[in-house]
Homo-oligomer: A and B are copies of this chain.
Amino acid sequence: MAASGRGTGDERFFAHSGSQSLDVLARLAGAEIRRPADGREVGPLTGVAALQAAGAEEVSFLDNRRYLPLLSNTGAGVVILGPAFAGQVPPGCAALVTPQPYLAWARIAALFHPRPAVAPGIHPTALVDDEAGIDPAAEIGPFAVVGSGARIGAGSVVMAHAVVGPGVVIGSDCRIGTHASVSHALVGDRVTLFPGVRIGQDGFGFALSETGFVSVPQLGRVILHDDVEVGANATIDRGSAQDTVIGAGSRLDNLVQIGHNVRLGRCCIVVAQAGISGSTELEDYVTIAAQAGLIGHIRIGRKARIGAQAGVMSDVDAGADVIGSPAMAFREFFRNVAALKRLARRPVAGGKAAGDHQGPDADG
């Protein structure tokens, strides 16, 4: 297969707004300009690209020390970076220096490649209930289904094949992704649901009777506050007797699972494949790294950070960093790792190393 074309801003997929001057970019980014050491004049800039691909009329950026070697060989006309690295740009390259290079990159890249505009209207193949309220400035895509009593706000887009259930309220400037389903939910403004997201289905609740499991009615809702994003194929169950709540500005990555009655505060981050069990609460600014799991009915304090693959079985204090399964303080976890390594290397009676008698443990 020929993966032809540029890897950044391929015109088949991304709109392009035209050239920009270095001064405009610097103002937008709140960055300081350092002109090329070789005295080269920096003309209009046409776009953005990665360090290893950018040309003399393009802007690139460096945000991770690991990629410093790429900086010295870049052909970029301008590089956005932090003060610590500003001295290392090649002589023909301008620098946009800022303590927040990633934020500056976000703003400059968005200037060159604006998001697709909303095309208000209801696609003729969409199925919108007569009792639904669709703002005239909303866009409803092909084969989308919007149920009775649902409301879709101005500037929002319900993409192809998405299903918005009866009574669901969606605010303004939202994106409801392809194949997403939303039921029993109230959604704020500027919320983005990526493709395949599942919002509002029954939580996992059942009681044991003499004849088997009996489903417990799940009578709560899902509340997604403003500016929430939910990654592809992630799942958020509705509450049982209360609501499941995702606080304003929180971002959930792909394949995340949120159980019923879970409550996230503002600006929490939940990375891919992590899961939060029923009725657990996160205060504001909590970060849950990839594949971590939290049991139900616990509380995670403000700004706590849960490490990747952690298994959290009890409350976590505000500001704490935990990792491991069961989760413990970062420091304790890595101390344990080191102690165990030292122990296992120590010779045991008879002069062998500790692990040489693996027996049946060796294959699990």
A interface residues, Cβ below 8 angstroms from B: 1, 3-4, 7-10, 12-14, 48-50, 53, 60-61, 64, 66, 100, 102-103, 105-107, 109-110, 113, 125, 127, 142-143, 145, 149, 160-161, 163, 165-167, 171, 177-179, 181, 183-184, 186-189, 194-196, 198, 201-202, 204, 206-209, 212-217, 219-221, 223, 225-227, 229, 231-233, 235, 237, 239, 241-243, 245, 248-249, 251, 253-255, 257, 259, 267, 271-273, 275, 277, 290-291, 293, 295, 297, 308-309, 311, 313-314, 325-328, 331-332, 334-344, 346, 348, 353-359, 361-364
The contact sample of 9 A-B pairs, CB cut-off 8 A, is A1-B187, A3-B225, A113-B217, A177-B181, A204-B272, A212-B267, A255-B273, A338-B357, A342-B348
CB distance from A213 to the nearest CB of B (A): 6
Q: B residues within 8 A CB of A357?
A: 338
Copies of this chain assembled into the complex: 3
Knowing A207-B100, A215-B106, A249-B212, say if A225 contacts B338 (CB, 8 Å). no
Q: B residues within 8 A CB of A232?
A: 198, 201, 235, 237
Residue of B nearest to A171 (CB): B1
Cβ-defined contact, A106 with B242, below 8 A: no
Cβ-defined contact, B183 with A219, below 8 A: no
